[in-house]
Amino acid sequence: MRILTGGMNHESNSLNPIITGEDDFVVFRGSEITGKGMLPYYSSTGIINTLREAGAEIIPTVLARAVPNGVVSGAFYQKIKNEMLDMAKKAKAKGPIDGICLALHGSMKVEDGKGGNFCAEGDLCSALREILPDIPFTAALDMHATITPELLKAVDGFAGYKTAPHIDCIETGALAASMLLESLETGKKLYTASVSLPMMVAGEKSETDAEPMKIIMDACREKEKTAPIKAASVLLGFPWADAEQNAVTVLVSAIDAAAPADTKLSADSAAAGLARLFWRHRKDFRFSMEFYNSRESMAQAYKAVLEKNERPVFVSDSGDNPTAGAAGDATDLFEAILETIDTADKLPTPLLFSGFYDAPASAACIKAGEGAEIDITLGGNWDKTDGKKIPLRVKVKKISGNFGPYKSDLVLLSWRNLLITVTSKHIGFSEEELLPALAVNPADYCLVALKIGYLEPCFKSIAARAIMATSRGCSNEVLESIDYKKVRRPIFPLDYDTEWSI
């Protein structure tokens, strides 16, 4: 069996003005995909492991991934897409290809050259279909995928993540690959039922440790135990893309039972059941962390440290979370800290703020060197709505280069009783290794403010208390306050009384 694989993974925040370009992506080509590209947080790793175990011949194409950010550059996307299509054509010329299994996000948006954007996955999969019609095609998706008619038409079977934070990437890839293999081995077709709900869910309300996501994901797992269903997925869409297709979509993929009509019936009925379950719980989605606006979050955090001796207290700057595609240089929460700097000065350890994506500030600090005191501005290079350039005279404490797959410079600065991290690349402050790379252990600090949403396990496990600031920025968690122009209305919760039935 010869199986074509590869993928594109980007969550594009259309509220963020940054255009995500070639420098922001890590691209694996050909055999790199089955070598150094086998990373634990790639669904592609699960796809390749499963294909290998089955003894399939893997045809690797291109695997491109970037940290969530603004819409993707049209020129870069076309380049990667063409590379993938050329590789598919060359492989086809060498002999028949039996199936396709891709690792996709599902919410990648690309500049359309007319001031708007289009959905990458639907475009890419349709183009592959033109070259390789009539063979089974499956894809692994992120839980925050946005499903378009083009994608549904091109791909036969889908498997989405069932955990947020996403810790089941490999299992999801494995499921997408095993559906494909079963279809090929049995000669039976895959069928996918799709039900879309007029609803959006704020990212930090989708934690699967908490209800109602727990019950919904358990229901998906239950459905998957019943033949002919192979994968039951609830895709939440991505609320920080102002797009017509924004919705919650239930996808149930099944393999032909004895009679194809039964397969359709089972999948349709399972998808409708899951959609009804989701809709019934629509008003139960809430933040699993205590939450306040930026000013109140800081007030609560100071109180926790100074009066209740709780430490470390974490405050999430959730409205400017780069891993939700925000710019990483909004200043709403930081301004709330500056307004209360006299209280911050009384903290028993410095207040750790991680951090800012600020390439000019990072470059100026690296030029000045460790130990130097310099005047810089922080923030407001990109997000000019909720960010401003804040002038500070800072001391450069530590510099670390070449961090992580995106090769960012990292800088640790101090100003009064604040320690601030700055990155030269748009990367996530949720990365476990970022602070250690600057010789900082977050457990040593009484108050840690992070540009993050819900806490990743590495922070959650040490937090005495976790507060979410519903700060302003491109990943504003209060969806009702976002000025959507393209999202189809009515939609819950923007239109709270939206009705839906199936």
Interface contacts to Zn ion, rule CB under 5 A = 142, 144
Residue nearest to Zn ion (CB): 144
Among the listed residues 226, 277, 282, the one whose alpha carbon sits nearest the alpha carbon of residue 253: 226
Measured from the CB atom, the residue of 176 and 313 that comes closer to Zn ion is 176
C-alpha–C-alpha distance, residues 449 and 355, integer Å: 8
Secondary structure letter of residue 72 according to DSSP? B
Q: Least distance from C-beta 7 to Zn ion, angstroms? A: 15
Measured from the CB atom, the residue of 25 and 353 that comes closer to Zn ion is 25
Measured from the CB atom, the residue of 9 and 381 that comes closer to Zn ion is 9
C-alpha–C-alpha distance, residues 472 and 478, integer Å: 9
Among the listed residues 484, 21, 10, 20, the one whose alpha carbon sits nearest the alpha carbon of residue 241: 484
Burial of 38 (0-12, 13-18, 19+ CB in 10 A): middle
Torsion angles phi and psi, residue 381, rounded to 5 = -75, -35
Among the listed residues 104, 85, 17, the one whose alpha carbon sits nearest the alpha carbon of residue 329: 17
E strand or H helix at 127: helix 120-131
Q: Least distance from C-beta 144 to Zn ion, angstroms? A: 4
Q: Least distance from C-beta 142 to Zn ion, angstroms? A: 4
Contacts 24+ apart (CB under 8 A), 487-496: 487/200, 487/242, 487/243, 487/244, 487/246, 488/198, 488/244, 488/246, 488/247, 490/198, 491/198, 491/199, 491/200, 491/246, 491/247, 492/198, 492/199, 492/200, 492/282, 493/199, 493/200, 493/282, 494/200
Q: What are the DSSP calls for 351-392, one per residue?
A: EEEEEEE-HHHHHHHHHH-TT-EEEEEES-SS-TTT---EEE
Q: Hey, is 159 helix, strand or coil?
A: strand
Measured from the CB atom, the residue of 144 and 426 that comes closer to Zn ion is 144
Q: Least distance from C-beta 8 to Zn ion, angstroms? A: 14
Q: Least distance from C-beta 166 to Zn ion, angstroms? A: 6
Measured from the CB atom, the residue of 58 and 176 that comes closer to Zn ion is 176
Measured from the CB atom, the residue of 169 and 418 that comes closer to Zn ion is 169
Burial of 96 (0-12, 13-18, 19+ CB in 10 A): exposed
Measured from the CB atom, the residue of 395 and 460 that comes closer to Zn ion is 460
| Beta pairing class for 351-357 and 418-423 | parallel
Measured from the CB atom, the residue of 238 and 302 that comes closer to Zn ion is 238
Alpha-carbon distances of 424 from 76, 279, 347, 375, rounded to whole Å: 21, 42, 29, 17
Among the listed residues 135, 163, 167, 140, the one whose alpha carbon sits nearest the alpha carbon of residue 151: 140
Measured from the CB atom, the residue of 164 and 305 that comes closer to Zn ion is 164
C-alpha–C-alpha distance, residues 357 and 373, integer Å: 20
Spell 201-216 as b/e; 16+ CB within 10 A means b: bbbbbbbbebebbeeb
Measured from the CB atom, the residue of 254 and 324 that comes closer to Zn ion is 324
C-alpha–C-alpha distance, residues 211 and 201, integer Å: 13
Q: Least distance from C-beta 89 to Zn ion, angstroms? A: 32
Q: Least distance from C-beta 203 to Zn ion, angstroms? A: 8
Measured from the CB atom, the residue of 145 and 174 that comes closer to Zn ion is 145
Find all residues with CB under 8 Å of 35, minimum gap 6, and list them: none
Q: Least distance from C-beta 196 to Zn ion, angstroms? A: 18
C-alpha–C-alpha distance, residues 223 and 278, integer Å: 14
Q: Count CA within 13 A, CB hemisphere, residue 265.
A: 6
Measured from the CB atom, the residue of 108 and 376 that comes closer to Zn ion is 108
